[in-house]
């Protein structure tokens, strides 16, 4: 393997490395959301256990159910992002190996990269689904009722 092949391999690997940076940023964002979901669930569990108000308990259990669903979706997103990072990492390896294996290594790298991209898209879909669910539990009628009571 001569220096020009190594230089070419490094140039090919730069784009996937930038993609890995984006994946790492997304993992951080989704992990932050998951931490907030877990914190909120712990608070709600304590409030539900301590309450004697049946209406509050029902509302609290419904919120806990939403939080569980959101947590699972966030976990799926993190799993898909981790898979994406793994596939992109393998892409970089096969781009280097591809210089020695010629076409076979390059084709493997292409399929690994595409797998990473599809995994990233699925993770983004999960992220969007989780953010939509985050607002689904909000009861804006309570806000309107409170505003009407003050007037």
Please return the burial class of 117, using the count of CB atoms within 10 Å of its CB with bins 0-12, 13-18 and 19+: middle
What is the average pLDDT score of the chain? 85
Distances (CA, A) of 128 to 19, 30, 39, 102: 19, 11, 20, 40
The stretch 51-79 carries a mean pLDDT of 94
Q: Cα(16)–Cα(96) distance, rounded to whole angstroms?
A: 12
Q: Cα(1)–Cα(83) distance, rounded to whole angstroms?
A: 30
* Helices and strands (H and E) in the chain: how many: 4, 0
pLDDT digits (tens, 9 = 90+) for 93-135: 888 776 666 667 778 888 999 999 999 999 999 999 999 998 8
> Which token pair is 73?
């979706």
Residues 109/98, Cβ–Cβ less than 8 Å: yes
* Structural domain spans, the chain: 3-150
N-term to C-term CA, the chain: 80
Q: According to the model, what pLDDT value does residue 20 have?
A: 92
Distance of CA 22 to the CA centre of its chain: 11
Q: Cα(51)–Cα(47) distance, rounded to whole angstroms?
A: 6
Q: According to the model, what pLDDT value does residue 104 have?
A: 72
In this predicted structure, the answer to whether residue 46 has a pLDDT above a threshold of 60 is: yes
Q: Cα(118)–Cα(95) distance, rounded to whole angstroms?
A: 19
Q: Which residue has the higher pLDDT, 27 or 10?
A: 27
Q: According to the model, what pLDDT value does residue 16 have?
A: 87
pTM of the model: 0.80
Per-residue pLDDT band at 43 (split at 50, 70, 90): very high
């Amino acid at each position: 393997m001569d220096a020009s092949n190594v230089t070419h391999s490094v140039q090919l690997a730069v784009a996937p490395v930038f993609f890995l940076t984006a994946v790492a940023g997304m993992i951080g964002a989704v992990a932050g959301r998951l931490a907030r979901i877990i914190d909120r669930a712990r608070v709600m569990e304590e409030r539900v256990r301590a309450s004697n108000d049946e209406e509050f308990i029902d509302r609290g259990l419904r919120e806990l159910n939403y939080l569980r669903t959101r947590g699972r979706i966030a976990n799926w997103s993190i799993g898909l992002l981790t898979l994406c990072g793994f596939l992109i990492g393998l892409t970089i390896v096969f781009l280097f190996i591809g210089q020695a294996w010629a076409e076979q290594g390059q084709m493997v790298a292409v399929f690994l990269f595409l797998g990473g991209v599809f995994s990233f898209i699925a993770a983004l879909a999960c992220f969007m689904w989780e953010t939509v669910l985050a607002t689904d539990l909000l009861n804006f009628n309570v806000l309107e009722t409170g505003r009407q009571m003050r007037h």
